[in-house]
Amino acid sequence: MADLIISSIGTLIRSADRVEHDVDMHISGGTIVAIGKHLADGVPDGTEVLDGRGKTVIPGFVNSHTHLYQCFLRGRSDTLALKSWSEAVTFPFAHLVHALDWEKGDVEGGYFWTLIGCMEMIRSGITAFVNMDLTLDSVFRAYRDIGMRAVGAVTAVNRWVPKELDQDLEERKREILRYIETWNEKKNGNEMIKVFIAPSTPFTCTEDFLLWQMEQAEAFDLGVQIHVSETRWEVEQSLTEHGLTPLAYLDTIGFLRRPVMAVHCVHLTEEEIDIAVRKGVVPVYNPKSNMKLGSGVAPVSRMIGKGLLPALATDGAASNDLLDMFEEMRCGAGLQKAFCLDPKAVSADDLFRMATENGASALGLNSGTLDPGKNADFVLLDMKKLWSSPVHDPVQNLVYCGTPSNVESVFIGGKAVLRNGVFTNIDEERILDRALKLFEAKFGSVRGKGSLAAGF
Asked whether residue 436 is assigned to any structural domain, the reply reads no
Distance of alpha carbon 228 from alpha carbon 108, whole angstroms: 31
DSSP line for 359-388: HHHHHT-S-SS--TTSB--EEEE---STTT
Q: End of a domain among 318, 340, 363?
A: 363
**pLDDT for the residue 447:** 63
pLDDT in tens, 235-260: 999 999 999 999 999 999 999 999 99
Shared domain for 269 and 285, answered yes or no, is: yes
Q: End of a domain among 322, 337, 363?
A: 363
Tell me which of 81-85, 216-220, 428-432 is least confident.
81-85
Question: Is a pLDDT exceeding 80 seen at residue 113?
Answer: yes
> Average pLDDT, whole number, for the chain?
93
pTM attached to this predicted model: 0.95
Query: Among candidates 65, 154, 68, which has minimal Cα distance to 112?
Result: 68
Instruction: Provide mean pLDDT across the span 363-380.
Output: 98
Distance of alpha carbon 209 from alpha carbon 228, whole angstroms: 16
Shared domain for 310 and 385, answered yes or no, is: no
Q: How many of the other CB atoms lie within 10 Å of CB of 46?
A: 7
Residue 187 pLDDT grade (very low, low, confident, very high; cuts 50, 70, 90): low
Give the amino acid at 279: K
Asked whether residue 260 is assigned to any structural domain, the reply reads yes
Q: How many domains does the chain have?
A: 2
CATH number (domain holding residue 342): 3.20.20.140
Give the amino acid at 151: V
Instruction: Provide mean pLDDT across the span 94-114.
Output: 86
pLDDT in tens, 388-430: 999 999 999 999 999 999 999 999 999 999 999 999 999 999 9
pLDDT in tens, 119-160: 999 999 999 999 998 889 999 999 999 999 999 999 999 987
pLDDT in tens, 272-285: 999 999 999 999 99
Asked whether residue 267 is assigned to any structural domain, the reply reads yes
pLDDT in tens, 139-150: 999 999 999 999
Shared domain for 317 and 415, answered yes or no, is: no
Domain containing 114 equals: 61-363
Shared domain for 299 and 353, answered yes or no, is: yes
Shared domain for 149 and 267, answered yes or no, is: yes
pLDDT in tens, 3-15: 999 999 999 999 9
Tell me which of 28-37, 114-123, 160-169, 212-221 is least confident.
160-169
Q: By the 8 A CB rule, do 62 and 360 touch?
A: yes
**pLDDT for the residue 190:** 73
Distance of alpha carbon 152 from alpha carbon 154, whole angstroms: 6
Asked if the peptide bond before residue 321 counts as cis, ω within 30 degrees of 0, the response is yes
Asked whether residue 305 is assigned to any structural domain, the reply reads yes
Question: Is a pLDDT exceeding 90 seen at residue 16?
Answer: yes
Instruction: Provide mean pLDDT across the span 211-222.
Output: 97
Shared domain for 224 and 349, answered yes or no, is: yes
Burial of 106 (0-12, 13-18, 19+ CB in 10 A): middle
Shared domain for 261 and 329, answered yes or no, is: yes
Question: Is a pLDDT exceeding 70 seen at residue 75?
Answer: yes
Asked whether residue 433 is assigned to any structural domain, the reply reads no
3-class SS at 15?
strand
Shared domain for 408 and 317, answered yes or no, is: no
Instruction: Provide mean pLDDT across the span 24-33.
Output: 96
pLDDT in tens, 58-68: 999 999 999 99
Q: For the chain, state the CA radius of gyration.
A: 22
Q: Which residues contact 374 (CB under 8 A, 6 or more apart)?
A: 31, 32, 366, 367, 368
Shared domain for 241 and 379, answered yes or no, is: no
Instruction: Provide mean pLDDT across the span 19-44.
Output: 94
Shared domain for 352 and 384, answered yes or no, is: no
Shared domain for 54 and 114, answered yes or no, is: no
Instruction: Provide mean pLDDT across the span 367-395.
Output: 97
Distance of alpha carbon 325 from alpha carbon 205, whole angstroms: 30
DSSP line for 385-412: STTT-S-SSHHHHHHHH--GGGEEEEEE
Cα angle 369, 375, 376 (rounded to 5 degrees) comes to: 85
Residue 164 pLDDT grade (very low, low, confident, very high; cuts 50, 70, 90): low
CA-CA-CA-CA dihedral for 132, 134, 136, 141, to nearest 10? -50
Cα angle 66, 68, 73 (rounded to 5 degrees) comes to: 110
Asked whether residue 397 is assigned to any structural domain, the reply reads yes
Shared domain for 112 and 178, answered yes or no, is: yes
Query: Among candidates 147, 150, 169, which has minimal Cα distance to 158?
Result: 169
Question: Is a pLDDT exceeding 90 seen at residue 375?
Answer: yes
**pLDDT for the residue 456:** 25
3-class SS at 429?
helix
Residue 448 pLDDT grade (very low, low, confident, very high; cuts 50, 70, 90): low
Beta-strand ranges (E) seen in 210-253 are 223-228
Asked whether residue 193 is assigned to any structural domain, the reply reads yes
CATH number (domain holding residue 54): 2.30.40.10
Residue 455 pLDDT grade (very low, low, confident, very high; cuts 50, 70, 90): very low
